[in-house]
Each structure stands twice: as C-alpha cells, then as structure tokens.
A = this chain, B = another copy of it.
Amino acid sequence: MKHLPHKTIERLSQYRRALLICLDKGQTHIYSHEIAKIQHITAVQVRRDLMLIGYTGTLRKGYNVKELIELIGEIIDSQEGINVSIIGMGNLGRALINYFSGKRSHLKIVASFDINPDKIGNTMSGVPCYSSDDMEKIIREKDIKLAIMTVPADFASQTADALVKAGIKGILNYTPKPVNVPKEVYLEEYDMITSLEKVAFYVKLNESAG
C-alpha cells in the first residue's frame, strides 16, 4: 500500500467506530452512502478511502461490515496492543479513563500519573495512579508507548520533556500549551477553545450571510 492521506487515517478510525455499532446491531452489510451519511461526508469519499486501503465491496450489496472492521484494524492497529498512559488525573484525565474503559481496543490505558498524594495509589476503572516521580521507571517497565497529557498548562513542557526522556513514542497533548518534542516522537495537540471558536466563527458567518 502506498501513502494513506492523513485525513483518510482519521476517517478510517471513524468508520470503524460506526461499523462496530452496526455490527452490534446485527447489520452484516453497509453501503458507502450509509457510512457517508453517518459521518457527514460524501459516498465517493468513503469509496475512495476504501479503495486506498484496497477493500472491495460487493456490487449492489455494499461492504461487509465484519470484514471491513477487520481490515481497518489491520491497517491502523499494531499487531500487539499498545499501552497508553494518562498524565494528570484531574477532571479531564478522569473523563478519558472513564470513556476508554470498557472499549475493547488494542489501545490499553495501563497507568496514570499525578503529583497529588491523594490520587497516587488509587485505581480508577482498573487503571492505577502512580507518582509522577516514578514515571520514567514505570513507562519503561510497562512498555508504555503513548501518553495523553492532561496536566495543568504550566506543567506541560516539563511533562513532555520527561515523557520524551522516558522513551515515549507518541503524545496526545490536551493542555492548551503547545509543547516541543524531537521529531521521532509523534505529537498531536488539541484544544477545545479552538473548536468552539471555530463553531462561533461559522455561526457568525451564517448569520451575516442571512
């Protein structure tokens, strides 16, 4: 397979999420336009994405839900599961653990870290909380590859540095403070204010357009 576009990767993850729901409902096949409807995109786009990963459906019957889920898994998942950690067990950290727990997934949250003694030693949804001081040790011990940062913004940089030092391979940064990492560490950042301001902008635009 050649290079999959960035956007295709994101959509494959979304397709799978939708497909898993279909599977649960007992649906065996699905048309490109049905997937498209769910994701608010066009049917061509869905077909193009599936073409890129080399999956062919059945003419007039659509795509086999189970097969497609499996193929997407082969593309985007790793062979072995990937261990994930959450740094900062505040509101957002808890929301995340809560959200992930129960999801059958190759991504497993196996540890969380905090500096607050009240949180250290607790377990939430089966995920133990360790002291940040032990981060490097535990990341190596448990072979943790990814980290989700939900510490206060002021601790963002130092946390990122510590993660890099511990040999983490990918970081999802939810603090509003962009961090710097060496290029061999994959970094994704997200801020809700940006999303909300974007919504606000387009609402304003809609209104002024009538």
Q: What is the interface of chain A, defined by CB distance below 8 A to chain B? A: 9-10, 13-14, 17-18, 38-40, 75-78, 82, 84, 90-92, 94-96, 98-100, 103, 105-107, 145-146, 148, 169-172, 176, 178, 180, 184, 186-204, 206-207
Contacts and interface: CB of A to CB of B under 8 A. Distances in A.
A178 B40 contact: yes
A196 to B, nearest CB: 6
Given A40-B187, A146-B200, A172-B195, 7 more contacts: A13-B197, A17-B176, A17-B191, A92-B99, A146-B199, A148-B196, A170-B202
A13 B188 contact: no
- Assembly stoichiometry (copies): 2
Contact of A200 (B77, B91, B194): B77
Given A178-B38, A203-B145, A84 B170 contact: no
A37 to B, nearest CB: 8
Q: How would you classify the secondary structure of chain A's contact residues: helix, strand, loop or mixed? A: helix
B13 A198 contact: yes
Contacts of A78: 200, 204
A139 B171 CA distance: 38
Contacts of A197: 9, 13, 76-77, 107
Contacts of A202: 9, 170, 186
A186 B180 CA distance: 33
Nearest to A202: B186
A197 B198 CA distance: 24
